[in-house]
């Protein structure tokens, strides 16, 4: 069995090869009046604004906050409801080569956990995403999640550890739990008890902002 560091190294090399292939394709030229900096968000329904208008989600609120406090940033929300880490890994090279982002927020893994997918697969996929982002010079904020206890203590602990290990290995910023400020109150969630309400979105943004702000240099 390969040691853990070797498996991650292989995953990163694979991601770089995919980026290199994407870079061989002609890239579109941004308009002259485009913002100076781009922030790419790769997430799932929690970042896509499930169950609400797109303008009400925390990512859209982030654009508003940047406009008010740090002008010159464009937020591109490439989040997809139901997305897994495998889906994100399959899209990341095209997105980072096309957009050349300065910062990438990676907020995936929740759907992997809810489906009980192997932790090693999620770790490899997230490693590919981080490696591809850093390959084009982007700074990365890795955003973690937590799983319910019914999945078992080993799985839930390993799920959280994935994010800590990857952040340390790749020297990225880490926000351990996206929903930390709203998770304890059932009133903050829609009827499915999975997706935060419109009213909870500002609290999520306020939680993300301190981890993100140092990357906006």
Q: Which of 45, 60, 79, 133 does the annotation list as catalytic?
A: 45
Quick one: pLDDT at residue 35?
A: 72
Q: How many domains does the chain have?
A: 1
The answer to whether 119 touches 41, Cβ cutoff 8 Å, is no
Specify whether 90 is catalytic: no
In order along its 217 residues, the chain shows pLDDT tens digits of 445 555 555 555 555 555 555 544 444 444 555 679 999 999 999 999 999 999 999 999 999 999 999 999 999 999 999 999 999 999 999 999 999 999 999 999 999 999 999 999 999 999 999 999 999 999 999 999 999 999 999 999 999 999 999 999 999 999 999 999 999 999 999 999 999 999 999 999 999 999 999 999 8
Is there a domain that residue 134 lies in? yes
Is there a domain that residue 29 lies in? no
Specify whether 17 is catalytic: no
Specify whether 192 is catalytic: yes
The Cα–Cα gap between 97 and 20 comes to 9
Q: Which of 47, 85, 195, 207 does the annotation list as catalytic?
A: 195
CATH number of the domain that 104 lies in? 3.40.50.1110
Is there a domain that residue 28 lies in? no
Domain range enclosing 52 = 4-22+35-215
Quick one: pLDDT at residue 217?
A: 85
Is there a domain that residue 200 lies in? yes
Quick one: pLDDT at residue 33?
A: 59
Q: Which of 33, 171, 191, 192 does the annotation list as catalytic?
A: 192
Is there a domain that residue 27 lies in? no
């Amino acid at each position: 069995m390969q040691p853990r560091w070797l498996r991650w190294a292989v995953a990163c090399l694979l991601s770089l090869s995919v980026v290199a292939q994407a870079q061989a394709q002609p890239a579109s030229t941004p308009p002259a009046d485009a913002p100076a900096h781009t922030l790419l968000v790769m997430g799932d329904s929690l970042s896509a604004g499930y169950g609400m208008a797109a303008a009400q989600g925390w990512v859209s609120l982030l654009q508003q906050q940047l406009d008010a406090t740090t002008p010159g940033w464009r937020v591109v929300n490439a989040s997809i409801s139901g997305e897994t880490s495998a889906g994100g890994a399959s899209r990341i090279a095209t997105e980072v080569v096309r957009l050349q982002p300065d910062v990438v927020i990676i907020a995936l893994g929740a759907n992997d956990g809810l489906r009980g997918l192997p932790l090693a697969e999620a770790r490899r996929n997230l490693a590919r995403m981080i490696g591809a982002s850093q390959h084009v010079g982007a700074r990365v904020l890795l955003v973690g999640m937590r799983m319910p206890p019914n999945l078992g203590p080993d799985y839930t602990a390993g799920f959280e550890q994935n994010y800590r290990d990857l952040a340390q290995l790749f020297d990225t910023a880490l926000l351990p739990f996206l929903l930390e400020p709203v998770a304890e109150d059932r009133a903050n969630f829609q009827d499915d008890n999975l997706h935060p309400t419109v009213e909870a979105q500002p609290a999520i943004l306020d939680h993300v902002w301190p981890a993100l702000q140092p990357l906006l240099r």
